[in-house]
Chains A and B, each alone.
Chain A
Amino acid sequence: MDFSVIVEYFPRLMQGTWVSLQLIFLSVVLGGIFALPIALARISKNPLISGLPFAYIFFFRGTPLLVQIFLVYYGASQFEVVRESFLWPILREPFWCAIIAFTLNTSAYTAEIFRGAIQAIPVGEVEACKVVGMTKVQMYRRILLPRAFGIVLPAYGNEIILMLKGSALASTITILDLTGMARTIIARTYTPIEIFLAAGAIYLVISMVVIAIFKQVEKRQNRYLGPNPVKLPDDV
């Protein structure tokens, strides 16, 4: 074990970390924005509205993220039509291909999490809304979505951490994210254990920050539930 390589290449690992953070941030934000309408359409009792979101979620949850990245990056570029379209300036960039694949993937998972949260709200609360005469829009805006937001947090935090780890696959399409950078360094130094240990530690730190943020938001969002009502006896 030679830990001096970690010190020597730490600045480059940090460059990779920055790329990883950009990838995760952009795809999580975009994915979150797309997820809400997808989830609402998915809940609809009208099969014409819920059919497409169902197929979308089914596809993106049922296929590996790596396959999705390869389809966007290597798949689309095989077609002359795509290469000559106005989309090519975006699709030729590996960074944006990764953002597209990650966003599609995470929005499918997040939509499912939202749907679960909305449907987990007790029927009594929905009925109460109807009894006081709220319209559907009012009901969602005032009661259901804020309630769902509180329920969704633990599962959503989990999804962001899964996305963080999934982002390592960006290295397969030439992006120098944290994993890509680590592999490029190893190609020169042949010290896989040292460099991957360092990269793993950096991922761990990012996860810890995400977990800490979610813990705070959860605490604030669910503060109406009050402090833990079950008090354990001291002498157990």
Chain B
Amino acid sequence: MKLKKLALGSALVLGAALTSVSGIAADKVRLATEGAWAPFNFIDSAGKPQGFDVDVAWALCAKMKADCEVVTQDWDGLIPGLKVRKFDAIIASMSITEERLKVVDFTNKYYSGGLRFLGLKGEAFNIADLKGKVIGAQRATLGAQYLEDNFADLATLKFYDNQDNVYLDLVAGRLDVVLSDELPTFDWLKTSGNGDKFEFKGDAFLKEDNIAIAVRKGDKLKDKLNKALDEILADGTYQKINAKYFPFSIY
């Protein structure tokens, strides 16, 4: 008798859980960001995701008149999470790359990036001198891939779970140079208090790096997002968000 009750109870709970899960999947648009890529996406002191990506996400949702939720997920779990429908889109400063296009679709770009080296102030820098140096980058980023393709046999490469840990090891002296996206590093130099010790090295490259929102292959959400993106670019909403974070246009 007791067992029967228990079985019935757990069946009810399971049923409730299943309906609530499918309920979320049906009408809410879940947008995932990383939360460790200031000023594009970061977690504020109240534990909420903030930043350029998140502002753009909410602006797009307002245009789409959709019920949205912004969730956070570690960087290298973003694409796997999208594939298994834990969320419906990734708005996390993700570059469009050939490899990623094989597994997800991208909207039009919402800003463009570029890679740049970062190192100790005052040290001479030449890309040919990177032989034998220790270079750090965040795992599964454009920068990490560029290093693997071009420096795998020349230098010691170290890959980190998030950009904060890259900076920590640069400050600790374990890394000679860092390769990362220019814009967040611009912000780090300005706000972290390390701007007097470190500086950009060389010019930015791969400037044609287009940052866009990733959706599942064939998902109609892509067209809706593109339409909303055109709208916020046309009516000045985008420019307002841009000005909040950078004194120059990053589109």
Q: Residues on A close to B: CB < 8 A?
A: 74, 77-78, 83, 92, 94, 172, 174, 183-184, 186-190, 192
Contact = CB atoms under 8 A, between A and B. Distances in A.
Contacts of B144: 187
Contact of A92 (B100, B165, B174): B174
Contacts of A192: 80
Contacts of B79: 190
B80 A190 contact: yes
20 contacts: A74-B169, A77-B173, A78-B168, A78-B172, A83-B172, A174-B158, A174-B159, A174-B169, A183-B76, A183-B139, A184-B159, A187-B76, A187-B139, A187-B140, A188-B140, A189-B99, A190-B79, A190-B99, A190-B100, A192-B80
A186 B78 CA distance: 12
Contacts, number: 50
A57 to B, nearest CB: 29
A190 B102 contact: yes
Interface string B121-163: 0000000000000001001100011001000000000111100
For chain B, the bracket of interface size reads 20 to 34
B103 interface: yes
Nearest to A187: B140
Contact of B172 (A77, A186, A189, A190): A77
A190 B169 CA distance: 27
A77 B172 CA distance: 6
A188 B80 CA distance: 12
A83 B76 contact: no
A77 B169 contact: yes
Nearest to A82: B172
A184 B145 CA distance: 10
B9 to A, nearest CB: 33
A94 B158 CA distance: 10
B168 to A, nearest CB: 5
Most chain B CB neighbours (cut-off 10 Å) among A78, A186, A187: A187
